Protein backbone atom coordinates (compact mmCIF):
# COMPACT_ATOMS: atom_id res chain seq x y z
CA UNK A 1 0.00 0.00 0.00
CA UNK A 2 1.36 3.38 -0.96
CA UNK A 3 2.02 6.19 1.51
CA UNK A 4 0.58 9.46 0.28
CA UNK A 5 2.55 12.65 0.74
CA UNK A 6 1.02 16.06 0.09
CA UNK A 7 2.37 17.65 -3.07
CA UNK A 8 3.22 21.34 -3.64
CA UNK A 9 0.68 23.54 -5.46
CA UNK A 10 0.78 23.13 -9.21
CA UNK A 11 1.19 26.27 -11.27
CA UNK A 12 -2.03 28.25 -11.41
CA UNK A 13 -3.86 26.41 -8.60
CA UNK A 14 -6.34 28.49 -6.61
CA UNK A 15 -5.14 28.83 -2.98
CA UNK A 16 -7.10 26.98 -0.31
CA UNK A 17 -10.15 28.90 0.90
CA UNK A 18 -9.81 27.31 4.34
CA UNK A 19 -13.47 26.41 4.24
CA UNK A 20 -15.22 24.94 7.28
CA UNK A 21 -14.70 21.24 7.94
CA UNK A 22 -18.08 19.49 7.91
CA UNK A 23 -18.50 15.90 9.10
CA UNK A 24 -19.91 13.56 6.46
CA UNK A 25 -20.04 10.24 8.31
CA UNK A 26 -23.51 8.72 8.32
CA UNK A 27 -25.03 11.36 6.03
CA UNK A 28 -26.85 11.15 2.74
CA UNK A 29 -26.46 13.59 -0.11
CA UNK A 30 -27.67 14.51 -3.57
CA UNK A 31 -26.19 15.66 -6.85
CA UNK A 32 -25.86 19.45 -6.75
CA UNK A 33 -27.73 21.18 -9.57
CA UNK A 34 -27.54 24.93 -10.17
CA UNK A 35 -31.30 25.26 -10.54
CA UNK A 36 -31.75 24.09 -6.93
CA UNK A 37 -29.33 26.60 -5.39
CA UNK A 38 -31.78 29.21 -4.12
CA UNK A 39 -34.19 26.57 -2.80
CA UNK A 40 -31.34 24.82 -0.99
CA UNK A 41 -30.09 28.06 0.54
CA UNK A 42 -33.61 28.86 1.75
CA UNK A 43 -34.10 25.37 3.22
CA UNK A 44 -32.79 25.38 6.78
CA UNK A 45 -33.48 21.63 7.07
CA UNK A 46 -30.93 20.53 4.48
CA UNK A 47 -28.30 18.71 6.53
CA UNK A 48 -26.67 16.34 4.04
CA UNK A 49 -23.83 16.63 1.56
CA UNK A 50 -23.66 17.45 -2.13
CA UNK A 51 -21.69 15.78 -4.90
CA UNK A 52 -20.43 17.57 -8.00
CA UNK A 53 -18.77 16.32 -11.17
CA UNK A 54 -15.25 17.71 -11.23
CA UNK A 55 -15.28 18.48 -14.96
CA UNK A 56 -18.11 21.00 -14.51
CA UNK A 57 -15.82 23.17 -12.37
CA UNK A 58 -12.52 23.11 -14.23
CA UNK A 59 -12.89 26.66 -15.52
CA UNK A 60 -11.16 29.45 -13.63
CA UNK A 61 -14.26 31.13 -12.22
CA UNK A 62 -17.75 32.33 -13.02
CA UNK A 63 -21.20 31.26 -11.87
CA UNK A 64 -20.40 27.55 -11.30
CA UNK A 65 -17.67 28.40 -8.80
CA UNK A 66 -19.79 31.07 -7.13
CA UNK A 67 -22.61 28.57 -6.63
CA UNK A 68 -20.36 25.75 -5.40
CA UNK A 69 -18.56 28.09 -2.98
CA UNK A 70 -21.88 29.01 -1.38
CA UNK A 71 -22.82 25.35 -1.03
CA UNK A 72 -19.40 24.34 0.30
CA UNK A 73 -19.51 26.87 3.15
CA UNK A 74 -22.46 25.12 4.77
CA UNK A 75 -22.21 21.51 3.58
CA UNK A 76 -19.64 18.78 2.98
CA UNK A 77 -18.89 18.14 -0.69
CA UNK A 78 -17.99 14.98 -2.57
CA UNK A 79 -15.92 15.59 -5.72
CA UNK A 80 -16.65 12.98 -8.39
CA UNK A 81 -14.50 12.74 -11.52
CA UNK A 82 -15.95 11.33 -14.74
CA UNK A 83 -13.25 11.90 -17.37
CA UNK A 84 -9.93 10.77 -15.85
CA UNK A 85 -10.04 7.55 -17.91
CA UNK A 86 -8.24 5.60 -15.19
CA UNK A 87 -8.95 2.36 -17.04
CA UNK A 88 -7.68 3.61 -20.40
CA UNK A 89 -4.62 2.28 -22.23
CA UNK A 90 -2.94 5.65 -22.71
CA UNK A 91 -1.16 7.79 -20.09
CA UNK A 92 -3.31 10.04 -17.92
CA UNK A 93 -3.82 13.59 -19.17
CA UNK A 94 -1.54 15.56 -16.84
CA UNK A 95 -3.35 18.83 -17.52
CA UNK A 96 -6.65 17.26 -16.56
CA UNK A 97 -5.10 15.70 -13.47
CA UNK A 98 -3.63 19.09 -12.53
CA UNK A 99 -7.04 20.75 -12.77
CA UNK A 100 -8.50 17.93 -10.68
CA UNK A 101 -5.87 18.55 -8.02
CA UNK A 102 -6.61 22.27 -8.12
CA UNK A 103 -10.29 21.64 -7.38
CA UNK A 104 -9.39 19.49 -4.40
CA UNK A 105 -7.18 22.24 -3.03
CA UNK A 106 -9.82 24.88 -3.67
CA UNK A 107 -12.84 23.12 -2.16
CA UNK A 108 -11.29 20.64 0.29
CA UNK A 109 -13.92 17.96 -0.43
CA UNK A 110 -14.73 15.36 2.19
CA UNK A 111 -14.71 12.61 -0.47
CA UNK A 112 -12.95 12.27 -3.84
CA UNK A 113 -13.83 9.60 -6.37
CA UNK A 114 -13.46 8.39 -9.96
CA UNK A 115 -14.63 5.49 -12.15
CA UNK A 116 -13.22 2.10 -13.01
CA UNK A 117 -13.64 2.81 -16.71
CA UNK A 118 -12.05 4.52 -19.71
CA UNK A 119 -13.44 7.42 -21.71
CA UNK A 120 -10.70 8.80 -23.96
CA UNK A 121 -8.85 7.87 -27.13
CA UNK A 122 -5.88 10.04 -28.01
CA UNK A 123 -7.35 13.58 -27.76
CA UNK A 124 -11.03 12.58 -27.95
CA UNK A 125 -13.25 12.43 -24.87
CA UNK A 126 -16.28 10.16 -25.16
CA UNK A 127 -19.54 10.85 -23.37
CA UNK A 128 -19.47 7.33 -21.94
CA UNK A 129 -17.77 5.33 -19.22
CA UNK A 130 -16.51 2.37 -21.17
CA UNK A 131 -15.70 -1.13 -19.78
CA UNK A 132 -12.35 -2.88 -19.66
CA UNK A 133 -11.21 -6.51 -19.56
CA UNK A 134 -10.21 -7.85 -16.16
CA UNK A 135 -6.72 -9.21 -16.80
CA UNK A 136 -3.34 -8.98 -15.08
CA UNK A 137 -2.15 -6.50 -17.72
CA UNK A 138 -5.19 -4.27 -17.15
CA UNK A 139 -4.72 -4.57 -13.40
CA UNK A 140 -1.14 -3.33 -13.62
CA UNK A 141 -2.11 -0.40 -15.84
CA UNK A 142 -5.06 0.71 -13.70
CA UNK A 143 -2.96 0.35 -10.54
CA UNK A 144 -0.26 2.58 -12.05
CA UNK A 145 -2.88 5.18 -12.99
CA UNK A 146 -4.37 5.09 -9.49
CA UNK A 147 -0.91 5.52 -7.98
CA UNK A 148 -0.31 8.56 -10.18
CA UNK A 149 -3.63 10.15 -9.25
CA UNK A 150 -3.21 9.54 -5.54
CA UNK A 151 0.38 10.73 -5.46
CA UNK A 152 -0.62 13.90 -7.32
CA UNK A 153 -3.56 14.83 -5.11
CA UNK A 154 -1.91 13.66 -1.88
CA UNK A 155 -4.78 11.49 -0.68
CA UNK A 156 -6.49 8.17 -1.45
CA UNK A 157 -9.29 8.17 -4.00
CA UNK A 158 -12.51 6.14 -4.04
CA UNK A 159 -12.96 3.97 -7.14
CA UNK A 160 -16.49 3.29 -8.43
CA UNK A 161 -17.61 -0.07 -9.83
CA UNK A 162 -19.06 0.21 -13.36
CA UNK A 163 -22.46 -0.57 -14.81
CA UNK A 164 -21.87 -3.29 -17.40
CA UNK A 165 -23.58 -4.29 -20.62
CA UNK A 166 -21.12 -6.89 -21.88
CA UNK A 167 -18.25 -9.08 -20.73
CA UNK A 168 -14.85 -9.55 -22.32
CA UNK A 169 -13.83 -13.08 -23.25
CA UNK A 170 -10.25 -12.00 -22.43
CA UNK A 171 -11.09 -11.48 -18.75
CA UNK A 172 -9.27 -13.86 -16.42
CA UNK A 173 -10.77 -12.71 -13.10
CA UNK A 174 -14.09 -11.54 -11.75
CA UNK A 175 -14.89 -7.87 -11.26
CA UNK A 176 -14.86 -8.25 -7.48
CA UNK A 177 -11.45 -9.98 -7.55
CA UNK A 178 -10.12 -7.25 -9.84
CA UNK A 179 -11.38 -4.49 -7.51
CA UNK A 180 -10.01 -6.26 -4.44
CA UNK A 181 -6.60 -6.55 -6.08
CA UNK A 182 -6.61 -2.84 -6.92
CA UNK A 183 -7.31 -1.93 -3.30
CA UNK A 184 -4.46 -4.13 -2.08
CA UNK A 185 -1.97 -2.78 -4.64
CA UNK A 186 -2.80 0.93 -4.42
CA UNK A 187 -4.44 1.61 -1.06
CA UNK A 188 -7.41 3.24 -2.78
CA UNK A 189 -10.88 3.17 -1.26
CA UNK A 190 -14.11 2.16 -2.97
CA UNK A 191 -17.30 3.85 -4.03
CA UNK A 192 -19.99 1.17 -4.20
CA UNK A 193 -22.69 2.07 -6.73
CA UNK A 194 -25.56 -0.22 -5.75
CA UNK A 195 -27.59 0.69 -8.82
CA UNK A 196 -24.64 -0.31 -11.02
CA UNK A 197 -24.54 -3.69 -9.30
CA UNK A 198 -28.25 -4.21 -9.97
CA UNK A 199 -27.97 -3.05 -13.61
CA UNK A 200 -24.96 -5.26 -14.31
CA UNK A 201 -26.54 -8.28 -12.64
CA UNK A 202 -29.71 -7.93 -14.71
CA UNK A 203 -27.84 -7.39 -17.97
CA UNK A 204 -25.24 -10.13 -17.52
CA UNK A 205 -27.34 -12.69 -15.69
CA UNK A 206 -25.59 -12.99 -12.33
CA UNK A 207 -26.84 -12.60 -8.76
CA UNK A 208 -26.50 -9.11 -7.29
CA UNK A 209 -26.51 -10.62 -3.79
CA UNK A 210 -23.66 -12.99 -4.69
CA UNK A 211 -21.71 -10.04 -6.13
CA UNK A 212 -22.14 -8.05 -2.91
CA UNK A 213 -21.20 -11.09 -0.81
CA UNK A 214 -17.86 -11.19 -2.64
CA UNK A 215 -17.31 -7.41 -2.74
CA UNK A 216 -14.71 -5.95 -0.31
CA UNK A 217 -17.24 -3.87 1.64
CA UNK A 218 -14.70 -3.02 4.34
CA UNK A 219 -13.04 -0.55 1.94
CA UNK A 220 -16.20 1.30 0.89
CA UNK A 221 -16.12 5.02 1.74
CA UNK A 222 -19.21 6.12 -0.19
CA UNK A 223 -22.32 4.56 -1.70
CA UNK A 224 -24.23 5.69 -4.80
CA UNK A 225 -27.91 5.14 -5.49
CA UNK A 226 -29.68 6.11 -8.71
CA UNK A 227 -32.54 5.35 -11.02
CA UNK A 228 -32.25 3.24 -14.16
CA UNK A 229 -34.23 2.84 -17.36
CA UNK A 230 -35.61 -0.34 -18.93
CA UNK A 231 -35.02 -0.97 -22.62
CA UNK A 232 -34.73 -3.97 -24.94
CA UNK A 233 -31.66 -5.21 -26.74
CA UNK A 234 -31.60 -6.23 -30.42
CA UNK A 235 -33.06 -9.62 -29.55
CA UNK A 236 -35.91 -8.23 -27.45
CA UNK A 237 -34.39 -9.14 -24.08
CA UNK A 238 -34.56 -6.75 -21.14
CA UNK A 239 -31.67 -4.27 -21.00
CA UNK A 240 -31.19 -1.92 -18.05
CA UNK A 241 -29.48 1.45 -18.56
CA UNK A 242 -27.80 3.36 -15.74
CA UNK A 243 -29.68 6.53 -16.69
CA UNK A 244 -29.81 8.60 -13.46
CA UNK A 245 -33.12 10.06 -14.63
CA UNK A 246 -35.63 8.82 -12.09
CA UNK A 247 -36.21 7.58 -8.56
CA UNK A 248 -34.32 4.69 -7.03
CA UNK A 249 -36.01 1.36 -7.82
CA UNK A 250 -37.44 -0.77 -5.01
CA UNK A 251 -35.02 -3.62 -5.75
CA UNK A 252 -32.07 -1.21 -5.45
CA UNK A 253 -33.37 0.05 -2.10
CA UNK A 254 -33.45 -3.56 -0.88
CA UNK A 255 -29.87 -4.16 -2.00
CA UNK A 256 -28.83 -0.92 -0.32
CA UNK A 257 -30.33 -2.05 2.97
CA UNK A 258 -28.51 -5.38 2.63
CA UNK A 259 -25.22 -3.49 2.33
CA UNK A 260 -25.88 -1.05 5.18
CA UNK A 261 -26.88 -3.89 7.46
CA UNK A 262 -23.28 -5.13 7.12
CA UNK A 263 -21.33 -1.89 6.90
CA UNK A 264 -23.19 0.63 9.01
CA UNK A 265 -24.10 4.15 7.85
CA UNK A 266 -21.64 4.92 5.06
CA UNK A 267 -22.10 8.34 3.33
CA UNK A 268 -24.67 7.72 0.59
CA UNK A 269 -25.48 9.80 -2.48
CA UNK A 270 -28.65 9.81 -4.57
CA UNK A 271 -27.63 10.61 -8.16
CA UNK A 272 -30.14 12.30 -10.47
CA UNK A 273 -28.42 13.82 -13.51
CA UNK A 274 -31.12 14.15 -16.19
CA UNK A 275 -34.86 14.80 -16.23
CA UNK A 276 -33.99 16.65 -13.02
CA UNK A 277 -36.99 17.09 -10.69
CA UNK A 278 -37.81 19.91 -8.30
CA UNK A 279 -35.68 20.02 -5.16
CA UNK A 280 -38.34 18.54 -2.81
CA UNK A 281 -38.49 15.35 -4.90
CA UNK A 282 -34.72 14.89 -4.86
CA UNK A 283 -34.59 15.71 -1.16
CA UNK A 284 -37.27 13.09 -0.45
CA UNK A 285 -35.10 10.41 -2.09
CA UNK A 286 -32.17 11.45 0.09
CA UNK A 287 -34.35 11.38 3.22
CA UNK A 288 -35.44 7.83 2.35
CA UNK A 289 -31.77 6.81 2.19
CA UNK A 290 -31.10 8.64 5.47
CA UNK A 291 -33.91 6.72 7.18
CA UNK A 292 -32.22 3.44 6.23
CA UNK A 293 -28.83 4.64 7.47
CA UNK A 294 -30.34 5.85 10.73
CA UNK A 295 -32.19 2.58 11.26
CA UNK A 296 -28.91 0.66 11.25
CA UNK A 297 -26.68 3.29 12.88
CA UNK A 298 -27.37 2.21 16.43
CA UNK A 299 -25.63 -1.10 15.71
CA UNK A 300 -22.37 0.72 15.05
CA UNK A 301 -20.33 2.97 17.29
CA UNK A 302 -20.33 6.58 16.15
CA UNK A 303 -16.94 7.77 15.04
CA UNK A 304 -15.87 4.36 13.74
CA UNK A 305 -18.18 4.08 10.74
CA UNK A 306 -16.81 4.31 7.20
CA UNK A 307 -16.26 7.77 5.74
CA UNK A 308 -15.61 9.61 9.05
CA UNK A 309 -14.46 13.14 8.39
pLDDT, tens digit only, all 309 positions of the chain: 443 333 333 233 444 557 899 999 999 999 999 999 999 999 878 889 999 999 999 988 899 999 999 999 999 999 999 889 999 889 999 999 999 999 999 999 999 999 998 666 656 565 566 688 999 999 999 999 999 999 999 999 999 999 877 788 898 999 999 999 999 999 999 999 999 999 999 889 999 999 999 999 999 999 999 988 777 776 777 777 777 888 999 999 999 999 999 999 999 999 998 899 999 999 999 999 999 999 998 777 554 444 443
Q: What is the pTM of this model?
A: 0.88
pLDDT of residue 17: 57
Separation between Cα atoms, residue 208 and residue 199, nearest integer Å:
9
pLDDT of residue 122: 59
pLDDT of residue 229: 75
pLDDT of residue 6: 34
pLDDT of residue 121: 60
Separation between Cα atoms, residue 17 and residue 103, nearest integer Å:
11
pLDDT of residue 256: 98
pLDDT of residue 264: 94
Domains of the chain and CATH, by start: 28-297 (3.20.20.150)
Amino acid sequence: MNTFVAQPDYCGAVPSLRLPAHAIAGLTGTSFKYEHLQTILADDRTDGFFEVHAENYMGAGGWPHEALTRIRKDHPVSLHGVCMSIGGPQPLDKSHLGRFKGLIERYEPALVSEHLAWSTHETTYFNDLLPLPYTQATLARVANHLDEVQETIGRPILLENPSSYLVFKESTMSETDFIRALVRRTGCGLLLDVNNVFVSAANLGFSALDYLADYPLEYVGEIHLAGHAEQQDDEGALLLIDSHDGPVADAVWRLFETVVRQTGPIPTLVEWDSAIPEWPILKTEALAAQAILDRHAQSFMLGTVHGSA
